[in-house]
């Protein structure tokens, strides 16, 4: 569905009577304003609830809060079966259930009662996608500004992009975490760790390799703008906060220069950080801490990566001992 079609869908009233529509609008506002969910998540939850209410409307007439409270597990299973028939993935069904449960909790908080049927429905099975890490040599090459030396970009811009990419691979950061760093907290030479704010506002300390710190220092030395200590460390060409989209464009350019597949994304650098550490016999629980995963099961995905790829990474050297690190193994 296109963005314009989704927006048109979002502008339509929810199916159901006036009380249910009011409750749904209140829930939507609470997600965005009180829980501060990402706009895409709010949009997806809203769309899932709208589809469920439309399904109920077609089966048994306009839905009401009372009808939702009286739902049976079979009603929810029928909805899930209908969505499966439309070739909806298990992952999308799992998100739909999460959205419906969120709305049910909202109804309960508002004093309408509990939608007990939601507790009796099992989560759909989801085939977890394996990370697709890069070869060590390719990941290292992506962190070097000289890889893009033939581009008609200012040297400070190339140095900035190299510093961000070095943080993604050398410290396993998400784009949002790297771009969330302030100038005051710049990981420069002399610092061996940096504190970043991850998902859910959780703060964690991550290691900073000497060459990563040097990449940040090189960027700071070339940056033409005076940086506010409490402002963003990485800025765009007009001096404002750097957009994640610019980092994605930079990585896309590197894919072309290095002949890498479409799977070589900024997040693939984070996957590569974890996979290459694991291949060098890194301890899984420690890698979980470095990545900021809430659950060890998420980190355990890296143990299922193709064995041949792991052996290839093992025979090479992670940047902690190679060109990017410029230092001995910890």
Crossing angle of helices 18-29 and 90-109, in 10° steps, is: 110
Residue 186 main-chain phi, psi, to 5 deg: -55, 125
Which are the contacts of 107, defined by CB distance < 8 A and separation ≥ 6? 23, 65, 68, 69, 113, 115
- Cα–Cα distance for residue pair 182/96, rounded to 1 Å: 36
Residue 238, pLDDT above cutoff 50: yes
42 CB neighbour count, 10 Å cutoff: 21
pLDDT beyond 80 at 12: no
For residues 245 and 287, state if they share a domain: yes
132-167 exposure pattern, b = at least 16 Cβ within 10 A, e = fewer: bbbbbebbbbbbbbebbeeeebeebbbbbbbbbbbb
**Do 232 and 313 belong together in one domain?**
yes
Q: How far apart are CA 91 and CA 290, in angstroms?
A: 26
Residues 213 and 174 occupy one common structural domain:
yes
166 has pLDDT over 80: yes
Predicted confidence (pLDDT) per residue in 127-142, tens digit: 555 557 777 777 778 7
Active site residues: 174, 199, 267, 270, 293, 302
Q: Output the domain CATH number for residue 277.
A: 1.10.443.10
Residue 202 lies in a domain: yes
Looking up residue 83, the CATH number of its domain turns out to be: 1.10.150
- At 194 the three-state DSSP class reads strand
Residue 78 lies in a domain: yes
Please say which residue of 120, 151, 175 terminates a domain.
Answer: 120
Q: Are residues 115 and 163 in the same domain?
A: no
- Claim to verify: residue 59 and residue 157 sit in the same structural domain: no
Mean pLDDT confidence for 44-73: 91
CA end-to-end distance (rounded Å), the chain: 48
Predicted pLDDT of residue 128 = 56
Decide if 1 is inside a domain: no
| Residue 329 in domain | no
141 and 116 assigned to the same domain: no
Using alpha carbons, select from 309, 139, 124 the residue that is nearest to residue 211: 139
Q: Which two tokens stand for residue 68?
A: 């939702």
Residue 330 resides in a domain: no
Q: Are residues 112 and 240 in the same domain?
A: no
C-alpha to C-alpha distance for 199 and 215, rounded to whole angstroms: 25
DSSP alpha helix (H) spans, 30-89: 39-60, 65-69, 73-85
CA distances from 156 to 37, 173, 218, 255 (A): 34, 21, 8, 21
CA distances (Å), origin 161, targets 147, 156, 218, 229, 323: 11, 9, 11, 20, 18
pLDDT above 70: percentage of residues in the chain:
74
* Domain span holding position 57: 10-120
Overall domain count for the chain? 2
**Tokens of residue 38, six digits:** 């990402």
Query: Which among 135, 165, 153 has a CA at the least distance from the CA of 251?
Result: 165
Out of 36-50, 64-78, 256-270, least confident range: 256-270
- Domain check: are 20 and 159 in the same one? no
- Strand, coil or helix: 111: coil
Q: Is the predicted pLDDT of residue 67 greater than 80, yes or no? A: yes
The position carrying tokens 């529509």 is 21
Q: Is residue 326 part of a domain?
A: no
DSSP character at residue 33: I
Spatial distance between the Cα atoms of 26 and 301, rounded to a whole number of angstroms: 38
175 and 116 share a domain? no
Residues in the chain: 330
Contact 137, 317 (CB under 8 A): no
Q: Is the model's pTM score more than 0.75?
A: no
Closest CA to 71 of 23, 103, 38, 31: 103
Q: Which two tokens stand for residue 99?
A: 């959205």
Give yes or no: residues 155 and 279 share one domain: yes
What pLDDT is attached to residue 275? 66
Q: Are residues 98 and 188 in the same domain?
A: no
Report the pLDDT averaged over residues 114-136. 72
Domain boundary among 91, 120, 149: 120
Instruction: Assess contact for 107 and 68: CB atoms under 8 A.
Output: yes
> Which of 120, 146, 164 lies at the terminal end of a domain, its last residue?
120
Considering the domain boundaries, does residue 266 fall inside one? yes
Asked if the model's pLDDT at residue 234 lies above 50, the reply is: yes
Q: Residue 130: inside a domain, yes or no?
A: no
Give yes or no: residues 50 and 169 share one domain: no
**Which has the higher per-residue pLDDT, 34 or 80?**
80
């Amino acid at each position: 569905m296109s963005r314009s079609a989704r927006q048109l869908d979002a502008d339509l009233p929810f199916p159901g009577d006036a009380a249910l529509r009011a409750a749904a609008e209140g829930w939507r506002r609470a997600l965005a304003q009180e829980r501060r969910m990402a706009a895409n998540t709010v949009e997806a939850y809203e769309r899932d609830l709208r589809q469920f209410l439309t399904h109920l409307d077609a089966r048994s007439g306009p839905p009401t809060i009372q009808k939702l409270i009286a739902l049976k597990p079979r009603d929810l299973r029928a909805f899930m079966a209908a969505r499966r028939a439309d070739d909806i993935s298990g992952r999308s069904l799992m998100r739909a259930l999460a959205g419906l449960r969120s709305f049910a909790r909202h109804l309960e908080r508002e004093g309408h009662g509990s939608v007990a049927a939601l507790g009796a429905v099992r989560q759909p099975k989801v085939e977890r996608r394996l990370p697709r890490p890069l070869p060590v040599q390719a990941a290292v090459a992506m962190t070097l500004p000289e890889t893009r030396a033939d581009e008609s970009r200012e040297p400070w811009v190339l140095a900035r992009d190299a510093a961000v990419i070095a943080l993604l691979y050398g410290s396993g950061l998400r784009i949002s975490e790297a771009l969330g760093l302030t100038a005051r907290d710049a990981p420069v030479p002399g610092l061996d760790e940096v504190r970043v704010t991850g998902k859910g506002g959780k703060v964690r300390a991550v290691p900073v390799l000497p060459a990563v710190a040097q990449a940040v220092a090189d960027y700071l030395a070339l940056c033409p703008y005076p940086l506010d200590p409490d402002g963003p460390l990485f800025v765009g060409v007009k001096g404002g906060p750097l957009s994640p989209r610019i980092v994605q464009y930079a990585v896309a350019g590197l894919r072309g220069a290095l002949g890498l597949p479409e799977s070589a994304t900024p997040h693939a650098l984070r996957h590569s950080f974890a996979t290459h550490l694991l291949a060098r016999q890194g301890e899984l629980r420690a890698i979980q801490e470095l990545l900021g995963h809430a659950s060890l099961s998420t980190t355990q995905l890296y143990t299922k990566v193709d064995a041949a790829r792991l052996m290839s990474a093992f025979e090479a050297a992670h940047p902690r001992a190679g060109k990017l690190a410029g230092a001995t193994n910890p």
